[in-house]
Structure 1
Amino acid sequence: MEPASIGQNVIIGEDVSFGNNVTIGNNVIIYEKTKIGDDVVIQDNVVVGKQPSRAKNSILSESQKLPGAVIGSGCTIGTSSIIYANASLADDVFVADLATIRERVTIGEKTIVGRGVSVENDCDVGQKCKLETNCYVTAYSELGNYVFMAPYVVTTNDNYMARSKERYNHFKGVTIRDGGRVGANSTILPGKVIQEDGAVGAGSLVTKDVNTGEMVIGSPAKFYQKVPEDQLLKNQ
C-alpha cells in the first residue's frame, strides 16, 4: 500500500511496507524492509532503517546486516531524526526533531523522545516515558515505564574511560525502573540502578543505586528525603 502523502526527493527501499494514511515529508530516506504502521507522520529529512557503521577502532564486533526498523501506528518522527535498522517503536511514540534512536532499541507505547535525544544501541525504553531535550541514554541501558529524564541528563557505561582491555568485559548501562525520575544536568555512572519511584535532583552525580521511593541530591548524590506521597506513581 502506498503512503497517503509523499513529499519531494523521497527515497524508499525495497520491501518497505506502509499502513494507511502515512504522511512523508521532503528529503526522506526509508531503507529496505522497514515496516510502518497506520497514521504515521515522517517529517522532512528523516532517515529510517539506516544500517549502523563501525569505526575501524570500535570495540564492537562486525555485525551482519540487521532487519528493518519497525514504526508503530500513530507515531510521529520529527525533522532530521534518524531511526536505525532493527529499532522498534510501539504505537503512538513521538520522536522530536534531531533525535537519534540506534539499532536494537525498543521504545514503548506513547513514549516521548525529545529534541536532540540520543538513545544508543541495545536499550529498552518502556511505555509513557518522557525523555526531554538533549538527554543521553547510553548503550545497554534499561528504562521502565513512566520514566522521566529532564534535559541534559547523561548516562554512562564505561568505568574505565576507554582505557585498558579489561573494560571490554564490564560495559554496563544504567537501569531506571518504573516511575524513576532524573533532574536536569544530572549524571548517572555505569551500572547504577534507580529503583521504582526513585528521584534524582537536578545537577546530581549518581555514584550509588537509588532506593525505591527515595530522593537523592548532590555530587555525589546522597539521600535527601522520601519522595512525597502525592508524587508516587501509584497516586498519579
Structure 2
Amino acid sequence: MKPLTKIHPTAIISSNAKIGSNVEIGAFCIIYDNVDIGDNTIIGPYCELGVANGISNGEILKIGKNSHIRSHSIFYEASFFDDGLVTGHRVTIREKTLAGKNLQIGTLSDIQGHCDIGNYVRLHSNVHIGQKSKIGNYVWIFPYVVLTNDPHPPSDTLLGVTVKDYAAIATMSVILPGTTIEEGVLIGAHSSVKGRTEPNTVYVGNPAKKACDTSKIKLQDGSEQPAYPWRKHFHRGYPEHIVKEWLKN
C-alpha cells in the first residue's frame, strides 16, 4: 500500500486492495480485495467499495485518480470509473458499470449495473439508471429521472435505454425500455418517452410528443440568444480545450 495522506483508524482496508498516493479514506469505510483506487482520491465516511455478488466474477473495481466519493456510498466490484469521478452522498453503483472521465453522480442516485457511460456525464440527485443503459458524452440527466429497461414487468427481458451525446433529460421524466434519445435532444419535465427521437428536438408530455427544434428555445436572460445547443453558452466545469472546440464548431 502506498503512503496515504489520511486514513481513519476505523476504516477496514483489505491488504489486497490497491491504494494510490495521497488518498484519504474516511471513518468506518470498508475496502474489499478487488479494489484499485487512483491517486489523489477522497473516500468519505461509511463507504463500502468492492462489494461482491454472484455476477461480478471477482473482477476489479477501478476508481480513477482525482475522484471524490462522498459518505455512505456503495460500489460493487467489476466496474471501471475513469479519472475525476465525483459523487454525492448515499450513491449505489452495481457491477459492470463502465464510465468515462469526470462522471458526476448526485445524492441518492443509483446505477443498476451493466451500463456504459461516456465522458463528462452529469446525473443529478435521485436519478435511476436501469441495467443495459448506454449514455453518451456530455449528457445531462436531472433529478428524479428514471431510465427503465423491462418492457413487460416483471420479466427477464431487458431493453436498455440509449442516450446520445449532449442530450438533456429534465426532472421527473421516465424513459421507457428500448428508447433512443438522439444527440442534442431535450426532454421536457414530467415526460414519458418511448421509441426513437429525432436529433436536436424537444419532446414533452405523457406520452411525449415532438414539440419543436431545440433551436427555437431562447435564453430567458434578456439576450434572446438560442438556448440550444447549450454548449455554445454553458461551459462551467468543462476543460478549456473542449470549450474551444465547441465554440469553433
Is TM (by shorter chain) over 0.5? Answer: yes
Task: Tell me the matched-pair count.
Answer: 222
What's the offset of the Cα at 1:232? 1.4
Asked if residue 68 in structure 1 is aligned to residue 65 in structure 2, the reply is no
Deviations 1:13-54 (A, max 9, x none): 1321121100000000000031111100000000111113xx
Contact 1:14–1:33 (Cα < 8 Å) also in 2: no
Specify the code of the residue in structure 1 equivalent to 2:4.
P
Q: Where in structure 2 are the equivalents of 1:77-226 lying within 5 Å? A: 77-162=69-154, 167-168=155-156, 170-226=157-213
Specify the code of the residue in structure 1 equivalent to 2:28.
N
What's the offset of the Cα at 1:64? 6.2
**1:16: which partner in 2?**
17
Specify the code of the residue in structure 2 equivalent to 1:191.
G
Specify the code of the residue in structure 2 equivalent to 1:221.
A
> d(CA) in 2 for partners of 1:18 and 1:233?
38
**2:229: which partner in 1?**
232
Contact 2:56–2:78 (Cα < 8 Å) also in 1: no
- Which stretches in structure 2 are left out of the alignment for 5+ residues? 216-225, 234-249
Provide closer, same or farther for how the CA distance between residues 148 and 64 of structure 1 changes in structure 2, counting only shifts above 3 A: closer
**1:58: which partner in 2?**
none
Aligned-residue RMSD, C-alpha: 1.4
Contact 1:21–1:40 (Cα < 8 Å) also in 2: yes
Percent of counterpart pairs with the same letter?
29
> d(CA) in 2 for partners of 1:125 and 1:107?
5
- Which stretches in structure 1 are left out of the alignment for 5+ residues? 53-61
**1:5: which partner in 2?**
6
Provide closer, same or farther for how the CA distance between residues 212 and 31 of structure 1 changes in structure 2, counting only shifts above 3 A: same
Q: TM-score, normalised by structure 1?
A: 0.90
Q: TM-score, normalised by structure 2?
A: 0.85
> d(CA) in 2 for partners of 1:206 and 1:36?
37
Contact 2:178–2:195 (Cα < 8 Å) also in 1: no
> d(CA) in 2 for partners of 1:120 and 1:63?
13
Contact 2:12–2:31 (Cα < 8 Å) also in 1: yes
The structure whose RCO (Cα within 8 Å, separation 6+) is larger is 1
Q: Secondary structure at the match of 1:106?
A: strand
Contact 1:30–1:47 (Cα < 8 Å) also in 2: yes
Contact 1:74–1:91 (Cα < 8 Å) also in 2: yes
